[in-house]
Structure 1
Amino acid sequence: MLRTKLENVDTAFDIMDQLQDMFGHKSNQAHFEATKKYANAKMVSGMHVHDHFIKMMNYFQEVEFHGASTDEKTQVGLILNNLAPSFLAFTTNYFLNKLEYDMTQLLNELQMFEGINGGASKGTEN
């Protein structure tokens, strides 16, 4: 069926365009699975905050690829929510003082906090 549909298409560009029209729709299931990844991405014991941060950013990009976007304030909240228990003092301070960091500031502050408190997280795995 696919061959007959595309046999009168002249160029590779036109074939790719036709295939994109047929199969390029973003799947609701793929969107859900990508969203579930960042919602459940808890920072594990021994992981550096930079690595956790990059993992979360990749999840946000994956969700965006599947047709959804998450604003930066929500992304910051999700990252803070999924930190290891050793970052409890940082997150408490962030929310109590109503701080608002962009992603670069957040990563810098988290790394500074991690450095002051002795390196990679020492929380429990979730």
Structure 2
Amino acid sequence: MGRNIKLLLSAEDLMPVLDEEELEFQNEENPESKLAYELFRQKNSKVKLLVLSSLKKTIADSFKDLYLTKDMIEELKEMYGREERHAHHQLVTLLHSMKMAQGTPVIDHVMKMRNLFQESENLGTSFKLNYKTDVIFYSLPQEIYGSFIVNYNMNKLSLELPELANMLQEVEAASKK
């Protein structure tokens, strides 16, 4: 029990373990193949311990029988890739159904939508500025912002979202007068 395991890992430790298939032990007479096999086995064990220790116990228990770290990573990708797809679907649904709540400052609404676009982009979907602008315009109350939106489109403007939010704030302030 008094055995300490040193888990200092470098990129040199990780890459062979994650990129290569298990090295086969050739034969006892070839010391180089034996050394390469032992080195791979040690690195695989270290990385496997690191991965298992970073998982919740219930999840780690289902992976402890897998020998290769590479197989564990593939299983984790398969398991959590579905959740990422679900999260992406929820974000897109939220973006397309969002409407600015009455009494909410337009700057807060636009920044909230900007953050949702950013979250979706972090999951791998990119959006063009025109698309983002159109989705934001669709979410605004037309009785207040309708003429601004028509003007914006007729003049073929293209503003980054913070600049657009500032212009929409001016429209909001003018509508309150």
1:60-71 matches, within 5 Å, as 60-71=117-128
Instruction: Give 1:88 shift.
Output: 1.0
Q: CA deviation at 1:96?
A: 1.9
In proportion to residue count, which structure has more helix? 2
Q: Which residue of 1 aligns with 2:109?
A: 52
Match of 1:33 among 90, 93, 109: 90
Gaps of 5+ in 2: 1-43, 55-68
Task: Indicate the residue corresponding to 1:112 in structure 2.
Answer: 170
Higher relative contact order (CA 8 A, sep 6+): 1
**Pick from 59, 68, 74: which aligns with 2:131?**
74
Deviation at 1:99, TM superposition (A): 1.6
Residue 153 of structure 2: SS of its match in structure 1? Answer: helix
Identity level (%):
28
When residues 73 and 9 of structure 1 are mapped into structure 2, their CA distance, relative to the original with a 3 A threshold, is farther
- Structure-1 residue corresponding to 2:140: 83
- When Rg is computed on C-alpha atoms for both structures, the one with the higher figure is 2
Distance 1:100 1:64 in 2: 20
Contact 2:114–2:161 (8 Å) recurs in 1: no
Gap change, CA 1:9 and 1:97, over 3 Å in 2: same
Deviations 1:60-107, CA, capped at 9 Å, x for gaps: 122123221212221111111211121111111111222221222211
- Which whole-Å deviations, capped at 9, do the CAs of 1:1-55 have from their partners, x for residues lacking one? xxxxxxx732565545x66651453632221111111011111211110111111
1:123 maps to what in 2? none
Q: TM-score, normalised by structure 1?
A: 0.73
Question: Structure 1 95/20 Cα, relative in aligned 2: closer, same or farther at 3 Å?
Answer: farther
Residues 87-102 of structure 1: matches in 2 within 5 Å? 87-102=145-160
TM-score for both structures, normalised by structure 2: 0.54
Q: 1-side partners of 2:85 and 2:132: how far apart? A: 21
Q: How many residues align?
A: 112
Aligned equivalents of 1:92 and 1:51: distance in 2?
22
